[in-house]
Amino acid sequence: MDNLQELLHGFTIAVTVPHLALMAVGVLLGILVGVLPGLGAPNGVSLLLPLTFGMQPVSAIILLSSMYWGALFGGSVTSILFNIPGEPSSVATTFDGYPMARDGRPTTALATAFGSAAFGALVGVILITFLASWVAQVALAFGPAEYFAVYFLAFASFVGMGGAAPIKTVVALAIGFAIAAIGIDTVSGSVRLTMGIDELVKGVNFVVAVMGLFGIGELLVAVEEEFHARAVSSKIDWREVFRAVGRLPRHSVALLRSAAIGCWMGITPGGPTAASFMSYGIARRFSRRGRYFGTGEVEGIISPETADHAAGTSALLPMLSLGIPGSATAAVMMGGLMIWGLNPGPMLFVDQKDFVWGLIASMYVGNIVAVVLVLLTVPVFAALMRIPFVIIAPLIVIICVVGAYSVSNSYLDVVMMLGFGIVGYLFKKLFYPLAPLVLAIVIGDKAEDAFRQSMLMSKGSLGIFFANKLVTCLVVGGIALLLLPLVLQFVGLWRKPALPAPETTAQEKVII
């Protein structure tokens, strides 16, 4: 229980008036950058970084990590209210969060998301506290083959359980992989699929794709349907905030499962995005109300949010102990560590005890500060839903255009974003699922790199994916998840040959 003692020492560093004030400032700034699309946590943290050079390292990291917590929470707000995910990891939250908000329950959706996010973060930080040294070892076991297996698992868990027709899922995936391939290829170093446009050498930024696909795409669909053209009459009800949080323990199975997936993906380091998608996919399969996912189910919000935050928190551990950042924001903070004169790596825990344990203690306190502040803002954000569509629609267009432009101050990104908007619209009209497309855009190139690195290592033999226990388990698990729906379908067909009619409509609704 050495760790517990260190942690208590950490609390004495974190729980001081200046540090608590820094946390509050960090969280509020974080919520702000999280809510404003195109800013996002990595940019916010890099803007703030120069201000921290004069500070004590521990104060600086507390400020930056609080900002990170705030941004993670803030990112969910736009996903739920406007279907515009600010961070890759909050895409999965839009699937049920947005329908629920449109349904007149934005308060419930937001409070549920924040509550489960806080739970996920808490589990993540507890894991860091007690398993720090063990966890660092696990991450080391991950070579290219294991990385590929983890990504494969994420794809399999989502794709195998998708509600859409399998062939449409495959088409969406393939388009996503093609988009992910644009730009310079890590393994060969050559330029791919730029179609003569010089600027495309940078590849397609995720934010650009998602703002178009979700923000603009949804808008085009909404314009067509009269239903959307009126404001949602949501009552602002403080009590609903607490009721929604109070209802969370009823979904303890989903919470625990998602937290476990999140921690696992955060450590391994598949990252928060893969974690949230995987958690959502698995929840859809195993939840009793799985077939209603995509229409505003509570567990459809809980699962991705819990996993996202559990992974986001536990991803800080590989950064500190190994020097590999688990997310873009962690990468910026790592740059900060170096500038403050600290070297991330195994010795940080030995050399800089005050720093490490002060940070870990601040994760507990910072998350509590964050969730309190963010729950207080729920009614304010929910009120945004009462603004009539005719006003909110142009605002969404402006937000998407500015957001896409600010990614790298490029006009091309704006054009691409609008192009993705049309793609998003077509996908919806033709019942193609968007989720596999987004998943492939976000982790497609990483999966490809890992696969080809493995092939280089094994000189072209697929045996490398069965070379040790770890990678074999991951690959077999992935294949099992992929085949599960087929098997279940067979069993179902055999038992009752005729499918009841209502099921098909539920299936169509599930398409996202």
Partner 1 sequence: MRGTSLFLLSVSAAVVSGSAPACAAWQPQKPIEFVATAGPGGGTDNIARAVQNIITKYKLTDQPIVVVNKAGGSGAEGYVYGKASAGDPYKVIFGTSNAWQQPLVSKVAFNYTDLTPIAAMAQDEFLLWVKQDSPYKTAGDYLKAAATGDFKMGGAQSKDTDEVLTRMIEKAGHVKLTYIPFKSGAETAVQLAGGHLDSHVNNPSESIGQWRGGTQRPLCVFSPKRLPQGAKVTASEGWGDVPTCAEQGLDIKQYEQPRTVWLPGKVTPEQAAYYVDLMKKVQATPEWKDYIDKSSQIDTFLTGADFDKFIKEDLEHLRQVASEQGWLVK
Applying CB under 8 A, which residues contact partner 1?
38-39, 42-43, 45-47, 49-50, 53, 139-144, 183-191, 198-199, 201-203, 205, 322-325, 328, 331-336, 338-339, 341, 343-348, 351, 406, 408-409, 449, 453, 456-457, 459
**Among candidate residues 198, 442, 465, the one with its CA nearest the CA of residue 308:** 442
Query: Minimal distance in Å, beta carbon 36 to partner 1?
Result: 9
**Among candidate residues 152, 153, 142, the one with its CA nearest the CA of residue 470:** 142
Q: Which is nearer to partner 1, 191 or 426 (CB)?
A: 191
Q: Which is nearer to partner 1, 463 or 502 (CB)?
A: 463
Task: Give kind and range of the element (H or E) at residue 184.
Answer: strand 183-184
Query: Minimal distance in Å, beta carbon 242 to partner 1?
Result: 34
Query: Minimal distance in Å, beta carbon 465 to partner 1?
Result: 14
Q: Which is nearer to partner 1, 32 or 165 (CB)?
A: 32
Query: Minimal distance in Å, beta carbon 53 to partner 1?
Result: 7
Q: Which is nearer to partner 1, 201 or 430 (CB)?
A: 201
In whole angstroms, what is the distance from residue 76 CA to residue 92 CA? 10
Report the greatest alpha carbon distance in the chain: 71
- For residue 423, what are its two tokens? 């793609």
**In this structure, are residues 306 and 119 in contact, taking their beta carbons and an 8 Å threshold?**
yes
Q: Which is nearer to partner 1, 157 or 453 (CB)?
A: 453
Query: Minimal distance in Å, beta carbon 416 to partner 1?
Result: 13
Query: Minimal distance in Å, beta carbon 200 to partner 1?
Result: 9
In whole angstroms, what is the distance from residue 205 CA to residue 180 CA? 9
Query: Minimal distance in Å, beta carbon 157 to partner 1?
Result: 24
Residue 497 CB coordination number (10 Å):
7
Please tell me whether the peptide bond between 269 and the residue prior to it is cis, using omega within 30 degrees of 0: yes
**Sequential DSSP letters for 260-325:** HHHHHHHHTT-HHHHHHHHHHHHHHHHSTTGGGTTS--HHHHHHHHHHHHHHHHHTHHHHHHHS--
In whole angstroms, what is the distance from residue 297 CA to residue 305 CA? 13
Task: Report the chain's terminal Cα–Cα distance, integer Å.
Answer: 47
In whole angstroms, what is the distance from residue 410 CA to residue 406 CA? 7
Query: Minimal distance in Å, beta carbon 194 to partner 1?
Result: 8
Query: In whole angstroms, what separates CA 30 from the centre of its chain?
Result: 16
Q: Which is nearer to partner 1, 348 or 435 (CB)?
A: 348
CA dihedral angle for residue 369, residue 15, residue 360, residue 5, rounded to 10 degrees = -140
Q: Which is nearer to partner 1, 192 or 386 (CB)?
A: 192
Q: Which is nearer to partner 1, 220 or 467 (CB)?
A: 467
Query: Minimal distance in Å, beta carbon 187 to partner 1?
Result: 6
**Among candidate residues 56, 22, 61, the one with its CA nearest the CA of residue 45:** 61
Q: Which is nearer to partner 1, 3 or 46 (CB)?
A: 46
